[in-house]
Chains A and B, each alone.
Chain A
């Protein structure tokens, strides 16, 4: 009898145990991810902290109609898109070019050292790198000294609405191109070397080999990464922008996340901020679903 019991328990065992293992993590997710989702109700209220979520008055879509009437929001969405798309396009191009060039480096210690250096900025926080960028691009920084050397006019990169977006895009590419190239380098090394030998025998030049073998060989991974980056299209990089911008360049530098932070959190317009945040999340998830469909269709992989 006792043994039969144990057996039964043993058979029941794994399943129950699996649930037990999931429990702590799921509880954390429920509290810290799902409760805030319920908190989205705030966007449809005039939230007053003292009254709480259940005591505050419901106002329907008031904050959304207000949001779409503000000239701010069009500007902020357009800044977000320009910065994010710029980063995706330039960053991908740069990473691809770099991986193709790096693959040509045959001297092992040069290759290793270069990799060690170019991956480094990825691991540093924008808090740290913002100081580096300010140091380089401020009015008396090295970049302006170089401009002066060539007889060009000084540029106030950090205080100019013309230059702020290119600065954000450029410095992000600088931080990430090395690290992003890892995936592409892996893709190149998996290309059949026989193809290069055959092309070499036919007298193909380096350019032609890159164009007709390397790039087509990388295409699936390029497409996959491209599709995946669609998910970032509304996240233009809070950390970077927040650490580099200032009121003079709000016009060109404000992105959805910094806007929500500044207006909603610092300005304590909790309901309005939540509404803008929800706007972002909803568009984000629609893009993600489309990206997933695209990935399935063109790369026979799914993102999730």
Chain B
């Protein structure tokens, strides 16, 4: 009896491991397939022969990218916008989260500011009024259109605000007695003890900005101004159009989609590398961030 119970439990455990590992593979293999395609020859890719191992291993696609001026231009625009957005976001998050972490009594007007923020989070003018604003500000085709509209990430401000309000009051009081002003208290007391929360929102900012293709799509009218994701998206669109035109289609898609497939795959791989580089950090801070963020407030 106990032997069979034990046996049953082992089988159960095995099944659970199998399911979980299979789910992980379902997440990983489609991505890996793109990597394999990027290292395979065009012929192998057109013949649909690439699975998980590159066929006729070649780095030709990557060599082609090295000379692709538009790719690197877009890459540079993305790096620049991430840097600008990160600096701007962090300054504004820190500056706003601190006063908002005070009680209504300590900071008169706190709730008015809070309501301004929350209403902006809940309700928006929508896509077209925002576009018309950017257009009327003459920011189309400038890097500012990619940076300024998202200058205040409200959710992140609230997350840091929650973190700040958990910092022991005694620390702050001691600094005030030493004659520090609020700005000094913020940067000398609050910021150093809030690194995990600040890292979380910094990563939110980096990932969100790097991955965003939509602002590039609507605010940039020239391909030469596209950030990287918008540029890559424009490659996808061509494929989709051809696929669509090819309801009748294998020749059409054979012609165009596939000859570029390994090149596009390589572009995607290069575009994802920056995220993979910070992925260990992401895992460390996002997990705590999401748990703190969802449990609080």
**A110 is an interface residue with CB less than 8 A from chain B:** yes
Partner of B28, one of A22, A117, A277, A304: A117
Which residues from B are CB-within-8-Å of A193?
A: none
Which residues from A are CB-within-8-Å of B275?
A: 123-124
Q: Which among A28, A42, A303 has the highest number of chain B CB atoms within 10 Å? A: A28
Which residues from A are CB-within-8-Å of B126?
A: 36, 40, 260, 274, 277-278, 280-281
Cβ A138 vs Cβ B243 within 8 A: yes
Closest residue on chain B to residue A279 by CB atoms: B126
**A91 is an interface residue with CB less than 8 A from chain B:** no
Which residues from A are CB-within-8-Å of B130?
A: 32, 36, 39
Cβ B125 vs Cβ A183 within 8 A: no
**B87 is an interface residue with CB less than 8 A from chain A:** no
Size of B's binding interface in residues, CB under 8 A = 98
**A131 is an interface residue with CB less than 8 A from chain B:** yes
Cβ A18 vs Cβ B236 within 8 A: no
Minimum Cβ distance to chain B for residue A129 (Å): 8
**A44 is an interface residue with CB less than 8 A from chain B:** no
Cβ B294 vs Cβ A183 within 8 A: yes
Contact with A along B212-229 (1 / 0, CB 8 A): 111000100000000001
Partner of A174, one of B27, B124, B236: B27
Q: Which among B212, B240, B272 has the highest number of chain A CB atoms within 10 Å? A: B240
Chain B residues 234-280 with CB under 8 Å of chain A are: 236, 239-241, 243-244, 247, 250, 253, 264-265, 268, 271-272, 275, 279
Cβ B282 vs Cβ A123 within 8 A: yes
Which residues from A are CB-within-8-Å of B151?
A: 25, 28, 32
Contact with B along A124-168 (1 / 0, CB 8 A): 110110111111101110100000000000000011000000000
Closest residue on chain A to residue B244 by CB atoms: A246
Which residues from A are CB-within-8-Å of B31?
A: 120-121, 124, 132
Within the assembled complex, what's the spacing in Å between the Cα atoms of A133 and B236? 11
Cβ A277 vs Cβ B127 within 8 A: yes
Within the assembled complex, what's the spacing in Å between the Cα atoms of A273 and B131? 11
Minimum Cβ distance to chain A for residue B275 (Å): 6
Cβ A33 vs Cβ B124 within 8 A: yes
Which residues from A are CB-within-8-Å of B33?
A: 132, 135-136, 142
Minimum Cβ distance to chain A for residue B294 (Å): 6
- Known A-B contacts A13-B182, A125-B229; the reply to A18 vs B148 at CB < 8 A is no
**B13 is an interface residue with CB less than 8 A from chain A:** yes
Chain A residues 13-46 with CB under 8 Å of chain B are: 13-15, 17-19, 21-22, 24-26, 28-29, 31-40, 42
Q: What residues of chain B have their CB less than 8 Å away from a CB belonging to chain A?
A: 9, 12-13, 16-17, 19-21, 23-24, 26-28, 30-31, 33-34, 37, 48, 91-92, 95-96, 98-100, 102, 106-110, 113, 116-118, 120-133, 135-136, 148-152, 157, 181-183, 186, 207, 210-214, 218, 229-230, 232-233, 236, 239-241, 243-244, 247, 250, 253, 264-265, 268, 271-272, 275, 279, 282-283, 286-287, 290-291, 294-295, 297
Q: Could you give 15 example pairs across A and B, Cβ below 8 Å?
A: A18-B98, A25-B96, A35-B129, A37-B124, A49-B132, A115-B283, A124-B272, A127-B211, A134-B239, A135-B37, A158-B243, A159-B244, A265-B131, A284-B123, A304-B121
Given A132-B31, A288-B122, 4 extra CB contacts under 8 A: A19-B99, A36-B126, A40-B125, A118-B23
The 8 closest A-B pairs by CB, nearest first: A36-B125, A39-B129, A277-B126, A125-B211, A18-B99, A246-B244, A36-B129, A33-B120
